[in-house]
Amino acid sequence: MTKSIHIIGAGINGLVAAADLAARGRRVQVWERGPTPGGAVRTEDLTLPGFRHDVAAMNLSLFAGSAFMGKHGGEMARHGLDLVPINRPFAQALDPGDHLGITLDEAETLASFASEADKASWRALKADFPARAGLVGGLLGTPMTKRALAKFLWRQWRALGTAKMFETGQFLLTSPRAWLTETFEDPRLHTALASWGMHLDFAPDVAGGAIFPYLEAMAGHAMGMVIGKGGADTVTRALVRMIEAHGGTVTCNAEATAIHHAQGRATGLTVKGERLSADHILAGLAPRHLARLLGDSGNMRFDQGLAKFQHAPGTMMIHLALEGAVPWLAEPLRNFAYVHVGRSIDDAARTYAQALAGQLPDRPLLVVGQPSVFDPTRAPAGKQALWVQVRMVPAEIRGDAKGQISTRDWAEAKEAMAERALDLIEDQAPGFRARILGRTVVSPLDLEAENPNLVGGDQICGSHHLRQNFLFRPVRGFADGRTPLAGLDMIGAACWPGAGTGAGSGFFAAQRL
């Protein structure tokens, strides 16, 4: 077979790398173990016919603003990419009947604030956001090589000065609670913004997590959110069409079982029992699976780093088909794409501690996605497709913080845990249960069984704590995606710049090649 670039895994990073390379004339083959491409960016009829549910990722804002889209957005549109803008991105359901919401409209947003001082703080953050976003966003868009990082920091220092650079460095080390309590008076705001840290494994008191509540709050207020029309898989389908239009291939039900190497170079891979030669391999694999396919790389520190890579606690998904909208007591919540359900920042901290201890949380944080409010193609007329993340839950159950669920088997525990989550929504929306037409509950182990990169139901493929981020993601000395073997690169959420739909690691790898 003619040598070519082989990509293991048809997740968003693999597909983005393949599309960019194919568009530049490289011969690309993508191998996917599952029956459909997309990884965590897929959409399926999971409850009843006509109800379209995103299996994991729903928010496509990072993809819409990615470097890949900046380069190929026009072609992606020609291949059917269709995005829906959201003007009310997220809100927090607090005590029943109370909420705090972030929208594109400043007056509407500030109307849900309780403190005049907090309104002034918000306006100051909004005014400063373009400059700070340029620095923080630029950092997230910089490959983690010494040369690229040094050039970026030098440019920023020249533009901003020493004091501003140190201030930003301190901010990058700050926990969500520390930043929120020094910035805002109202505990409701602390709760609402801290919820975003939990998306990336940053509980309120974990150092380095302030950046994510800040970015989500300010970006949501400045730019809104983007979802896919008909489902997040509009991205996947357009990427596959783009790859194929340039002569590349995406083959499903084709699991790679080995990566071959000799004398410090990757030479090929085995797929479905057939050994294939390759000029280059991009492996979109969680570190433990890369290690399994690779064996001894010849570099002990790299191999030990893959073995020690830490995953975040798991997530449980609940997909619901509803007869009509969620009857929120706080009626404005019916008009938001995301509704976080959690009454205090301390609830979030307790939930995280319980999950780390192997306990089923007594009051888990919920992320309730209402995509059909903005995209009616997701459900039959008058009905709604609901997407619920239960964050966080343990992959291995050692107990129940509430003392009600005795089983330690997720196959038996998931329906009872789903009932606990639905109780929290019912508290905020009496009559909600009566509107459920169909449901599918997916445990963290179900998520991993379907997509092995989601180890233990970890939807972000690895903690983003400081010891495992920036120059340390996934292994110190290999944060640019390279491995000890020539001809083999890592891509995926386990690599810098980490989780999300921005596909940064896939695009970085394509540029290197």
Provide the pLDDT for residue 3.
Answer: 59
User: What domain range includes position 298?
Assistant: 5-41+59-83+230-309+463-512
Max Cα separation, the chain? 68
Residue 48 lies in a domain: no
Q: Which residue type, as a one-letter code, is found at position 446?
A: D
Residue 258 lies in a domain: yes
Provide the pLDDT for residue 35.
Answer: 97
d(CA 96, CA 70): 42
Mean pLDDT for each consecutive 10-residue tract of the chain (513 residues)? 82 98 97 97 97 97 96 98 98 97 97 96 94 80 85 86 87 96 97 95 96 94 97 98 98 98 96 95 98 97 97 97 98 98 97 98 98 97 97 97 98 98 98 98 98 96 94 94 97 95 96 92
Residue 71 lies in a domain: yes
Strand partners, 7: 30, 282
Same domain membership, residue 483 and residue 437: no
CA distances from 269 to 4, 5, 495, 507 (A): 12, 11, 21, 22
d(CA 143, CA 479): 8
d(CA 408, CA 392): 16
Same domain membership, residue 490 and residue 442: no
**Residue 253 near residue 36 (C-beta atoms within 8 A):** no
**Residue 371 near residue 230 (C-beta atoms within 8 A):** no
Asked if the bond preceding 58 is cis, omega within 30° of 0, the reply is: no
Residue 95 lies in a domain: no
Buried b (16+ CB within 10 A) or exposed e, 391-407: bbbbbebeebbeeebee
Same domain membership, residue 431 and residue 315: yes
Residue 15 lies in a domain: yes
Asked if the bond preceding 204 is cis, omega within 30° of 0, the reply is: no
Q: Which residue among 171, 193, 220 closes a domain?
A: 220
Provide the pLDDT for residue 353.
Answer: 98
Provide the pLDDT for residue 139.
Answer: 85
* Residue in this structure with the two tokens 């306006």, named with its chain if needed: 123
Provide the pLDDT for residue 2.
Answer: 43
Same domain membership, residue 153 and residue 27: no
Buried b (16+ CB within 10 A) or exposed e, 49-61: eebbbbbbbbbbb
Residue 344 lies in a domain: yes
Q: 374: domain CATH number?
A: 3.30.519
Same domain membership, residue 443 and residue 363: yes
d(CA 70, CA 77): 12
List of E strands, 50-208 = 53-54, 83-86, 90-93, 99-102
Which of 341, 412, 307 is CA-nearest to residue 195? 341
Q: Could you tell me if residue 146 is left (phi over 0), alpha (psi between -120 and 50 degrees) or otherwise beta?
A: alpha
Q: 291: domain CATH number?
A: 3.50.50.60
Q: Which residue among 152, 186, 220 closes a domain?
A: 220
Contacts of 432 (CB under 8 A, 6+ apart): 326, 327, 422, 425, 426
List of E strands, 403-455 = 436-442
Q: Which helix (H) or strand (E) holds 262?
A: strand 256-262
CA distances from 95 to 100, 261, 389 (A): 11, 58, 20
Provide the pLDDT for residue 1.
Answer: 43
Residue 114 lies in a domain: yes
* Residue in this structure with the two tokens 């020249």, named with its chain if needed: 158
Same domain membership, residue 446 and residue 331: yes
Total number of domains in the chain: 3
Same domain membership, residue 334 and residue 305: no
**Residue 50 near residue 322 (C-beta atoms within 8 A):** no
Q: Which residue among 450, 483, 503 closes a domain?
A: 450
**Sheet bearing 384-393, strands edge to edge:** 99-102, 90-93, 338-341, 365-369, 384-393, 314-322, 436-442
Same domain membership, residue 293 and residue 263: yes
Same domain membership, residue 324 and residue 262: no
Same domain membership, residue 10 and residue 77: yes
SS3 461: coil
* Residue in this structure with the two tokens 């604030």, named with its chain if needed: 113
**Residue 250 near residue 15 (C-beta atoms within 8 A):** yes
How many angstroms from the chain centroid is the CA of residue 403? 31
Q: Which residue type, as a one-letter code, is found at position 276?
A: L
Same domain membership, residue 431 and residue 479: no
Same domain membership, residue 202 and residue 239: no
Residue 88 lies in a domain: no
